[in-house]
Amino acid sequence: MSSEDNHFSMTVWCALIPPDEIGKLVKFEDDLRNVNQTYEDWLVSMRGKGFVGGDTGVLLDRIRILMINIGISCGMNRDLAEEIQSILSKHLRKRALNFVSAMAGNSTEDVATKETLSTFFTDLKFTRDIYPEEEIGKATPEKVKAPKGISKGRFGKLRGKGSKKVDVEIIVKKALFESSNVLKRLYMRLLSPDPWGEY
C-alpha cells in the first residue's frame, strides 16, 4: 500500500472494509464516508436485536440487509457497490470456511457435515435471499470417505473403497445447526470494533 493509500485510510476510516482492500477504493472518498455511515447505522439497529436463538436464515437476512444498504449508500455508483459487496462476501466466505475447516471430523457424520458446510459457504451469495434448508440439502453428499480409524463395517466394501453412505436428513439438520454457529461468529465479528482482526 502506498503512502497515499495510508493517508487516505486515516482520512476516511471505514472499519467494514478489510485494511488490505482499502487501497482499491481510494478514488471513492465521499462514497466510502456514506458506506461507513451506513455500517454505523446498521450496527446501531442490530445491536438492539438478540441473536442467541437466531437461526441460519435470520442471521443471513441481517447480513443481507447490510449488503443492500451498502448498495443504496453508493447511489448511482453501481460498480462501487458491487465491488464493496464482492470484497465483503469474499472475506466473509473465507472466514466461514476457516471456521468449518477447524470443526471436528472424527465420525462419518462429522465428515459429511463439514463437506456440506464447505460446499454451502463456498457457493453462498451473501447478497441474495435464500432458503438455507434447500441450499444445504443440495450441498449434502450421499456418500463420504470414512475417517481414518472408523470401521467400514460388514458392508463397507460394497459401498466403495473407504466410502460410507450418509443419512441425508440427519446431515441436513446437523449442518443447519452448525451453519448457524458459524454465522453467529461472523455476525459477532461484524458487530465488533475490529471485524477483520485476528480471531
31-51 confidence digits (pLDDT tens): 899 999 999 999 999 987 876
Residues 6 or more apart whose CB falls under 8 angstroms from that of 190 comprise 16, 63, 66
197 in any annotated domain? no
| pLDDT value at residue 164 | 82
Q: Which residue has the cell 441474495?
A: 128
Say which residues have a Cβ less than 8 Å from residue 144's Cβ, sequence separation at least 6: 108, 111, 112, 115, 163, 164, 166
CA 81 from chain center: how many Å?
Answer: 18
The cell numbers describing 105, all together, are 471430523
Q: Is residue 80 part of a domain?
A: yes
Q: Is 166 left (phi over 0), alpha (psi -120 to 50) or beta?
A: beta
Single-letter amino acid code for the residue at 32: L
Report yes or no on 118 lying in a domain. Answer: yes
Q: Which of 175, 5, 190, 4 is nearest to 89 (CA)?
A: 190
Percent with pLDDT over 90 in the chain:
60
Highest mean pLDDT among 7-16, 52-61, 170-179: 170-179
Residue 198 lies in a domain: no
pLDDT band at 142 (very low <50, low <70, confident <90, very high): confident
Which cell numbers in the block locate residue 51? 441473536
Residue 111: its pLDDT value, please? Answer: 93
Is 184 part of a structural domain of the chain?
yes
Tally of domains within the chain = 1
- For 136, the enclosing helix (H) or strand (E) is helix 132-139
24 pLDDT band, cuts 50/70/90, is: confident
Q: Is residue 164 within a helix (H) or strand (E), and if so which, with residue range?
A: strand 163-165
Q: How far apart are CA 63 and CA 183, in angstroms?
A: 9
Q: What is the mean pLDDT of residues 68-72?
A: 95
- Show the domain range for 72: 3-191
Decide if 107 is inside a domain. Answer: yes
**Contact predicate 8/29, CB 8 Å:** yes
Q: Does residue 196 lie in a domain region?
A: no
Residue 131 lies in a domain: yes
Higher pLDDT, 52 or 143: 143
pLDDT by residue (tens digit) across 96-127?
A: 999 999 998 888 999 999 999 999 999 999 99
For residue 154, the model assigns a pLDDT of 42
